[in-house]
Amino acid sequence: MEEEFDIIESQSPSFDIKAFLIRVISYWKLFLLFIGVGVFIVYQQNIRKQQSYRLSNQISVEDDSNPLFTSNTSLVFNWGGVSAKVQTMITSLKSRSIHEEVVDNLQFYVTYLKQSRFRKDDIYKDAPFAVNLIDNTSQLINHPIKVTFIDNNRYEISINFESTLVKTQNFANKTRASLDVPLGEFKKQFNIGDAIKTPYLNGVIYILDGRSVSQGDEYFIKLNDFDAVVAKYRKKLVIDNPRNSAILNLSMVDVNKAKIVDYLNEAVKVLSEDQLNRKNQFVTNTIKFIDEQLDRVKSQLTLNADSLNNYRQKNKIFNLDDEIAIVNNKLTSLEVEKDDINRKLAYYASLKTYLQTSNTFTEVPAPSVAGIDDSNILTNIRNINGLSVQKSKYGSTVRKDATIFADLNRQIEGLKTVLLENISSATNDLRRELEFANTKIAVEDAKIRKLPKAQQKLFDIQRQYSISEQTYNVFLAKRGEAEIIKSASISDILIIDPAKDTGATPIDLKLSSRYLFALIGGLLPPLLLAFLLTFFDNKLHNPQALENLSSIPLLGVVGKNYLDSNLIVHLKPKSSIAEGFRAIRSSLQYFYKKHNLEGTKTVMVTSSVSGEGKTYCSINIATVFAMSGKKTILVGLDLRKPKIFGDFDITNDTGVVNYLIGQKKLSEIIKQTKVSNLDVITSGPIPPNPSELLIGERMDLLIEDLKKSYDYIVLDTPPMGLVADALELIDYVDASIYVVRQDYTKKGMINLINSKYNKGEINNLSFIYNGYDQKGKYGYGYGYGYGYGYGNYANGYHEDEKIKKPMISRVKSFFKIT
């Protein structure tokens, strides 16, 4: 029997939408509570939260080349076009080195704070004072230093140390160290403008122009770890390159708008200067190379000039004749040509050595300095230089084992191989040109050798001087060209929109909008609770649910009893509960009449499990029969768990058990009660074999003898869902009543009695709905039409009294969740 009951009870209940909605309505107190808590939490968050803002600036990456020079004479190379430059700029903006320079320039590692109601706010430029840190000194980091102004000329710094070890940093070389400090508060006073020299702070505090301080003003200075600040702002900077265009949008989110503006603009400034320096690096290298050549040629030119003057004065020869002058000019021209070829050969030799021995190719001087005009060599040098610059830039932001380095090295090696082949080919051509020039020089030199020795010597000296002079002029012109290019060079970064605070609004959720989330958050928990309780709720909560679950007729509904006694009909005969039992009596009498039952009528009261009010209903049904003038007896046949004796103030020493085992006579076990016309037979001592006793011959004799003396016999039997005792008594009764209790009986229990009813194991069966509470969680409000009570229309007819509960009970019931 128990296994069958468990299987039936485990069936999953269907979801009752109507019950869910009614439960939701009944939780209005919880809704108010959760919404109130949510609004309170949001309010506390709103007054504590510091709003964040997003500001941005916009730049364009241009491909600016100097318009004063053609491609043949310009010393500036294009490193791959705008697209490559954009990627280089993005990489640069993400690099640590750029952010380190920005933080250093702005001194963002120094934070000025002011205590507000809930936090220390970063006031940045709103601070009326500033601190200049003494260079190359250690400063306390990550610990607020309180500055209290005593008057316009004096202030006090104080630091509260909660541990004996703190961190310091030298912001010149960025080195960190640990410092032992005494626990407690450090205080010291200074004059404004005086140098602060302590182990914790070294600097000078001064009042900013146009600002003033008042006595008692309190501020805080916090020096932060440099690398941590760099990492913080590096992470905050967002770079957007729409559609891979030449436009870059830089944005940042922070609680201080002025800091965002300064950081974004300074980042663009540093990037522009860095890019311009890299752009002019080729020209700078070239100027350095030209200066080295000018120094060499200038020394040679000075030496030749001195030799020429000394020789003229010593030999009194100042000019060559016209024929010799013509030969001299021609020979000088050939010598200049030869020197130009040698210069090219020297450049190629130097370039070859540089390519074979160097890992970077960012310091190659311009080929035009040596007069190189080979387009293949110019293009390859331009490309290899650009790749080298790009590789150098990636070195500070990308891991060394990244695939991009392997790709760049592969491209550079390929260009280097081609360039070396170009150099070899050009060198061979130059050597042939040099041999041809030497041949021409030999012819002209033979003409000079026919002159007198003095004339020849003067000719040689003058020729060396002319060659040096022309070479010096060439390098001087090249240097002027390079200087013009450098001065005319502009950054490829064009600022379209600088960062500016034009009334930025907080990007965080609007404070007023948060209350909507508080409302939603307050609604969800009770709704979820109601859903879960409804979904997993398998108890009966109203008579309608019982009628929907079973075809067994509902005999009546009994209200909830708030008295400590089960004798509600006897003690409160005018109560609505008493009227409910009278309605049940009328229904039973109608049933007996309909079935033409004469003589003594019997009724059995049972239930599914203990606690559903089976004994309570048995007592009161028997009472209403007795109060109608009918001689009634209540027999306690729940031999396993007897109860009925306590309410009648009688003992359970002897009872049915004593009769069934032959110890007592019927007259000895019948006990009178304080209710007129009502007698009781208690169950007596608990036997070891209750089922066997109930099916014995003595049970037949008991019922027969009782029918001789009483009009109504009410049998209080054990729960049918737990034991089989009640089924053994069906043959003795005319009608059976199955008690279910509101908010207690499980729906699965009804399946058990339905099964037995449908199989015909039990007939003439009706339900009593016990413990009905009209103001319960489902409160359908059954009224007079069903005979379940009179509802609110019964005022004046019933004497129901509301029992005032203790304060604690009322508070608990206010938030009762069922």
* Contact by Cβ (8 Å): 766, 733: no
Highest mean pLDDT among 138-147, 490-499, 727-736: 138-147
Q: What is the pLDDT of residue 668?
A: 92
Beta-sheet strand order (sheet of 493-497): 238-240, 247-254, 53-61, 493-497
Q: What is the pLDDT of residue 9?
A: 42
For 662-687, what is each residue's pLDDT tens digit? 999 999 999 999 999 999 999 999 88
User: CA distances (Å), 138 to each of 77, 198, 683, in order?
Assistant: 45, 9, 95
Per-residue pLDDT averaged across 719-747, rounded?
85
User: CA distances (Å), 650 to each of 48, 342, 658, 674, in order?
Assistant: 70, 138, 16, 10
For 764-785, what is each residue's pLDDT tens digit? 899 999 998 865 544 444 433 3
For 559-608, what is each residue's pLDDT tens digit? 888 888 889 999 998 888 999 999 999 999 999 999 888 889 999 999 98
Q: What is the pLDDT of residue 86?
A: 84
- Distance of alpha carbon 384 from alpha carbon 349, whole angstroms: 17
For 220-242, what is each residue's pLDDT tens digit? 999 999 999 999 999 999 999 98
- Distance of alpha carbon 638 from alpha carbon 169, whole angstroms: 87
- The total number of residues shown for the chain amounts to 818
According to DSSP, residue 786 is labeled G
Question: pLDDT at residue 71 above 60?
Answer: no
DSSP letters spanning 294-307: HHHHHHHHHHHHHH
Structure token digits, residue 528 = 């979820």
How do 53-61 and 247-254 pair as beta strands?
A: antiparallel
For 748-763, what is each residue's pLDDT tens digit? 888 888 988 888 888 8
* Contact by Cβ (8 Å): 757, 785: no
Confidence of residue 453 (pLDDT cuts 50, 70, 90): low
Confidence of residue 195 (pLDDT cuts 50, 70, 90): very high
User: CA distances (Å), 1 to each of 271, 637, 720, in order?
Assistant: 87, 19, 9
Question: pLDDT at residue 13 above 90?
Answer: no
Q: What is the pLDDT of residue 785?
A: 35
Q: What is the pLDDT of residue 334?
A: 73
Q: What is the pLDDT of residue 7?
A: 37
For 548-559, what is each residue's pLDDT tens digit? 889 999 999 998
Confidence of residue 287 (pLDDT cuts 50, 70, 90): confident
- Give percent of the chain with pLDDT exceeding 90: 33
Confidence of residue 810 (pLDDT cuts 50, 70, 90): low
* Contact by Cβ (8 Å): 448, 295: no
Question: pLDDT at residue 39 above 50?
Answer: yes
Question: pLDDT at residue 194 above 70?
Answer: yes
Confidence of residue 516 (pLDDT cuts 50, 70, 90): confident
Confidence of residue 357 (pLDDT cuts 50, 70, 90): confident
Q: What is the pLDDT of residue 362?
A: 57
Highest mean pLDDT among 417-421, 722-726, 746-750, 767-771: 767-771
* Contact by Cβ (8 Å): 752, 8: yes
Please name every residue paired with 204 in a beta bridge, in sequence order, or none if there are none: 132, 195
More confident residue, 797 or 292: 292
CA R_g for the chain: 55
Q: How many CA atoms lie within 13 A of 489 on its CB side?
A: 24
Helix, strand, or coil (residue 501):
coil
Neighbours of 656 (CB within 10 A): 27
Residue ranges and CATH numbers for the domains of the chain are: 2-49+509-536 (no CATH), 110-224 (no CATH), 281-494 (no CATH), 552-814 (3.40.50.300)
Question: pLDDT at residue 479 above 90?
Answer: no
Averaged pLDDT of the chain:
80
More confident residue, 109 or 811: 109
Q: What is the pLDDT of residue 796?
A: 44
Ranges 132-136, 137-141, 291-295: which has the least confidence:
291-295
For 629-645, what is each residue's pLDDT tens digit? 999 999 998 888 888 88
- Distance of alpha carbon 258 from alpha carbon 124, whole angstroms: 8
Helix, strand, or coil (residue 48):
helix
Question: pLDDT at residue 412 above 70?
Answer: yes
Question: pLDDT at residue 298 above 80?
Answer: no
Q: What is the pLDDT of residue 84?
A: 66
